[in-house]
A and B are shown apart, each in its own frame.
Chain A
Amino acid sequence: MSKPDQVLTANRLRDGEVVYWKAGSWVEHLEEAEVFSDGTAATAALKAADKAIQDRIVVNPYLFEVRREAHALRPVKEREVIRAAGPTVRPDLGKQSSEAFDVSL
């Protein structure tokens, strides 16, 4: 199996919302996120996120692994699947409840 791709995530400072890195800015849904297949680019993005910390946009940025499944993107770890969607016990809450949420994830 090939090495998984990576996505950069963080929580927004003001409200704690889970956000993902996309070309220098932050988006709220995983399917919009920038996917790094190159480890060096991923690390560079993580380094670049320092500025977002200094600018008080986000806290605690880190990289996590994803795999492309059919036409969707799926985090390797259950923790990131749940962060990307919301509590599995409350499908009416979190990102999964928004119209923008792509159920194919």
Chain B
Amino acid sequence: MYRYDEFDARFVAERVEQFRYQVERRLSGELTEDEFKPLRLLNGLYLQLHAYMLRIAVPYGTLSPKQLRMLAHIARKYDKGYGHFTTRQNIQFNWIKLVDVPDTLADLATVEMHAIQTSGNCIRNVTADHFAGAARDEIEDPRILAEIVRQWSSLHPEFTYLPRKFKIAVSGSEHDRAAVKFHDVGIEIIRNDKGETGYRVYAGGGMGRTPYIGHVVGDFVEKRDILAFLEAVMRVYNQSGRRDNIYKARIKILVNALGAEEMRRQVMREFDEIKAAGTLAVPSAELDNIARYFAPPAFEALGDNAPEYDAARASSAAFRAWSDTNLTPHRAPGYAIATISLKPIGGVPGDATHEQLDALADLLDEFGMGELRVSHEQNLVLPHVRKKDLPAIFAKLEALGLATPNAGLVTDIIACPGLDYCDLANARSIPIAQRISERFQDLARQHDIGELKIKISGCINACGHHHAGHIGVLGVDKKGVEYYQLQLGGSGAEDASIGEILGPAFGEHEIVDAVERVVDVYLEQRSGSERFLDTVRRLGIEPFKERAYAGWAFHI
């Protein structure tokens, strides 16, 4: 894992003390709320419905046992015993008191964590494929670049007051698990004909009220040039992005107003200038240095067959079900990637208790695993597990309520906090996720349905990624009452697409039935091994629409 150097440690420590002083000045009246609000947002502190919420950065979703224990400690000491993992690989605490925030941040700094740039109009926490360093189809660990980008973008004076927030994601595999095409900038690590690795850069993707899929602005950016290239993109955005209208301020609006070609031209003009100056070239020694932090653990020479694993599969239906869905092939023989579902049937997607966080840290230590990952799908991942250890690990996860066998299935639902917590929300998301999860809880039925990604947002800001859901649900407010729009056909993967709205919104008590009717159409009309998404793409939304609204009086 990356370890802070002296610069990282100093700036985080200085920021903690700076914010401590800012909180003191707020409480003493030296700062008004208008003056203080941008300062607290720079430190990830929001005021939500019930209390302050602290959003803590988990760079590229990687956590050590020590960090997990600290998060458990924060949940216990400063919050109400739990945290919430988000679709940006971060963790949020929902009940933080303003007066406790400086101490919370000081505690976090002791394990090299912070909440800097988790809010505000800056470059946010950089996200990456949660299977980094473990996936079989990986060209290169995306966290190396994500860390370089983190260092470049942290407290970057030129990009502290952007027109709007800016999100960067990196994928190192052909199979995109980081939703790069839905980011302000998405970076895909690719290999050219000569066998060299470099970066394909997308810009202008995003969700929110105006969803767009990113356009390629750099076909093959060489490794040493990537910061110069990113700086070029940022400069075009910083100069020409709109600041007069918050709804039109993201780079996606600029890219689509200029057109992809003109955006590329402007970026290349800046890029040539920055490159000529030579100041932003990434030295290969530094690149190697950072790469060393992400060197894979020393894998044991194991055969791919593990008798313990095979025996458990033969004897335990529960283990078999879990290993069918929650394991992914690992690059090293005898190893597996295990997804820990944070979607228990009827539970709150993404929530973890302090006991679970502590126990996961113990589990990592006990089985010699140095790190855990947070996925943008609000699950956790054990990236390097010996297959022979899986039965014992499964037993421990089961005891912790963390062994739900549903990764990638219909009950593995993404949901934003929604109106249960969020000040911006129009409708609740979590209860809809819970009801859908309960409706489809039968495991045989889930397996029959196969891969199906349901994503729910409680407002148009789309933190629940509803645009990219195979089934997307968007909560809307009609005169103070919650309604839910249904959309179909979105994907956040390499075949990225934006879901199409089915029609008028459903009431709170109608939406789960509507989802079930849509799934029924798929089961009846699928062809061969088609996934739900494939069937929607083949048939279009009409047959689904017809069934969803069958016998239904429109609310328009």
A-B pairs with beta carbons under 8 A, tally: 76
Q: In A41-85, which residues have CB < 8 Å from any B CB?
A: 53-54, 56, 59-60, 76-79, 82-83
Tell me if B27 is interfacial: C-beta within 8 Å of chain A.
yes
Looking at the assembled complex, report how far the CB atom of A59 sits from the nearest CB atom of chain B, in whole angstroms.
5
Indicate if B29 sits at the interface (CB-CB under 8 A). yes
**Alpha-carbon distance A17/B26, docked complex (angstroms):** 17
Across the interface, A15 reaches (CB within 8 A) one of B80, B97, B428, B431, namely B97
Q: Once the chains bind, are B50 and A86 in contact (CB under 8 Å)?
A: yes
Given the complex, which residues of B lie within 8 Å of A16, measured CB to CB? 47-48, 50-52, 96-98
Residues in B with CB closer than 8 Å to A53 are: 33
Known contacts A14-B99, A59-B47; A82/B419 CB under 8 A: yes
B348 at the interface (CB under 8 A from A): yes
Q: Shortest CB–CB separation between residue A62 and chain B, in angstroms? A: 12
Distance to closest chain B CB from A57 (angstroms)? 11
Of A14, A56, A83, A93, which one neighbours B80 at CB under 8 angstroms?
A: A93
Could you tell me the dominant secondary structure of chain B's interface residues?
mixed
CB–CB B98/A56 < 8 A: no
Q: Give the residue name and chain of the B residue nearest to A56 (CB).
A: B29
Q: Judging by beta carbons under 8 Å apart, are B98 and A18 in contact? A: no
Is B47 a contact partner of A14 (Cβ separation < 8 A)?
A: no
Q: Does A87 contact B (CB under 8 A)?
A: yes
Chain A's closest residue to B51 (CB) is A16
Query: Does B431 lie within 8 Å of A88, measured CB to CB?
Result: yes
A94 and B50 form a contact (CB under 8 A): yes
**B interface vs A, CB < 8 Å?**
26-29, 33, 47-52, 80, 95-99, 348, 419-421, 425, 427-428, 430-431, 434, 477, 480-482
Ranked 7 nearest A-B pairs via Cβ: A77-B480, A16-B51, A15-B97, A87-B420, A16-B52, A89-B430, A59-B33
Which A residues have a C-beta under 8 Å from some C-beta of B?
Answer: 11, 13-18, 53-54, 56, 59-60, 76-79, 82-83, 86-90, 93-94
Q: List 24 A-B contacts (CB under 8 A).
A: A11-B47, A11-B51, A15-B51, A16-B50, A16-B52, A56-B27, A56-B28, A59-B33, A59-B47, A60-B47, A77-B477, A77-B480, A78-B428, A78-B481, A79-B425, A82-B49, A87-B50, A87-B420, A87-B421, A88-B420, A88-B431, A90-B348, A93-B80, A93-B95
Task: A16-B47, A16-B97, A89-B428 are known; give 12 further A-B pairs, CB within 8 A.
Answer: A14-B98, A15-B99, A16-B52, A18-B50, A76-B480, A82-B49, A82-B419, A82-B428, A83-B49, A87-B430, A88-B428, A89-B420
